[in-house]
């Protein structure tokens, strides 16, 4: 695990972009796992800027979505899908044939999770996996637990997740999640973990102990050979 500290969000995002740009130059059709949320948004903005200068950038990139909320009211705009569409998929011109996702309003989440798992097995492993860290140390929607799922699965959300940020203000909050499993993530060739935003200090300090614990899902990244941790110092 290579931990890098940056004085602000923009510098962190620029450093992440240079890592991703290098990997895309080496393998233009790499499989990229896109995460929603604010932490990687600066990276995505840098990629979109590069696309405006170089139209061929990301023209062969293959993309799969990390996770999604479930149980939201129909038409809710609090979805990972809407977030990544606006910040990543549409501005980078990722075609439907090069993007695999899960519907937040699916009527059969178990079936759709199985479809996503089969896609990962057929198209993967992931070349780059983008992750943020939850206030409780979760990665994707793999919450602290006594057991972890290996593959893409429907998951129970922790109270600490449901009581965090904008979620608790929703009229109808998510009742479950759909997420890549720990096995999918740990099989990635390269992982970028962003430590940014409010409320991440405690989880990050626990990560720095290097103790691998089911109580801190992010700690399992210590077992991976190629993890870049990019830290916005204002968050820690």
Q: Is residue 176 in some structural domain?
A: yes
Average pLDDT score over the chain: 96
Q: Give a yes or no: residue 14 inside a domain.
A: yes
Report the catalytic residues: 67, 136, 138, 143
> Residue holding tokens 């860290």?
133
Would you say residue 63 lies in a domain? yes
Q: Which pTM was predicted? A: 0.97
Residue 151, domain extent = 2-204
Here the tokens at position 167 are: 């979620």
Token reading at 46:
């840098």
**Structural domain count of the chain:** 1
Q: What angle do CA 106, 99, 49 make, to 5 degrees?
A: 125
14-37 tens-digit pLDDT = 999 999 999 999 999 999 999 999
Is the confidence at residue 164, as pLDDT, over 90? no
C-alpha span between 95 and 112 (Å, rounded): 20
Is 199 inside any structural domain? Answer: yes
Distance between first and last Cα of the chain: 18
| Percent of the chain residues topping a pLDDT of 70 | 100
Q: How confident is the model at residue 217 (pLDDT cuts 50, 70, 90)?
A: very high
CATH of the domain at 178: 3.40.50.1360
For every residue of 46-77, DSSP letters joined together read: HHHHHHHH-TTTTSS-EEEE-EEEESPPTT-S
Lowest mean pLDDT among 88-92, 114-118, 158-162: 158-162
**pLDDT value for 198:** 87
Q: Where are the beta strands (DSSP E) in 78-225?
A: 99-100, 128-132, 153-155, 176-179, 190-195
The answer to the question of residue 223 being in a domain is no
Is residue 224, in this structure, part of any structural domain at all?
no
Distance CA 81, CA 102 (A): 8
- The residues near 23 (Cβ < 8 Å, ≥ 6 apart) are 30, 127, 128, 190
Reported confidence tier of residue 166, pLDDT bands at 50, 70, 90: confident
The pLDDT of 217-223, averaged and rounded, is 98
Report helix, strand or coil for 128: strand
3-state SS assignment for residue 227:
strand
Tell me, yes or no, whether 219 lies in a domain.
no
Q: Is residue 25 part of a domain?
A: yes
Confidence of residue 189 (pLDDT cuts 50, 70, 90): very high
């Amino acid at each position: 695990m290579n931990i890098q500290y940056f004085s602000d969000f923009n510098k962190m995002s620029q450093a992440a972009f240079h890592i991703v740009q290098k990997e895309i130059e080496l393998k233009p059709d790499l499989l990229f796992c896109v995460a929603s949320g604010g932490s990687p948004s600066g990276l995505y903005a840098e990629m979109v800027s590069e696309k405006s200068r170089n139209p061929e950038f990301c023209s062969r990139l293959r993309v799969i979505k990390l996770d999604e909320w479930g149980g939201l009211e129909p038409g809710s705009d609090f979805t990972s899908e809407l977030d990544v569409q606006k910040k990543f998929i549409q501005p980078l011109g990722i075609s439907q044939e090069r993007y695999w996702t899960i519907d937040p309003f699916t009527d059969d989440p178990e079936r759709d999770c199985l479809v996503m798992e089969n896609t990962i097995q057929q198209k993967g492993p992931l070349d780059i996996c983008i992750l943020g860290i939850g206030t409780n140390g979760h990665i994707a929607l793999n919450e602290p637990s006594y057991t972890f799922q290996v593959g893409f699965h429907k998951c129970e959300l922790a109270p600490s997740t449901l009581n965090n940020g904008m979620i608790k203000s929703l009229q109808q909050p998510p009742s479950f999640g759909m997420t890549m499993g720990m096995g999918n993530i740990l099989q990635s060739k390269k992982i970028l973990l962003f430590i940014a935003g409010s409320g991440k200090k405690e989880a990050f300090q626990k990560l720095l102990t290097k103790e691998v614990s089911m109580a801190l899902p992010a700690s399992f990244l210590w077992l991976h050979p190629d993890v870049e941790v990019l830290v916005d110092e204002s968050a820690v």
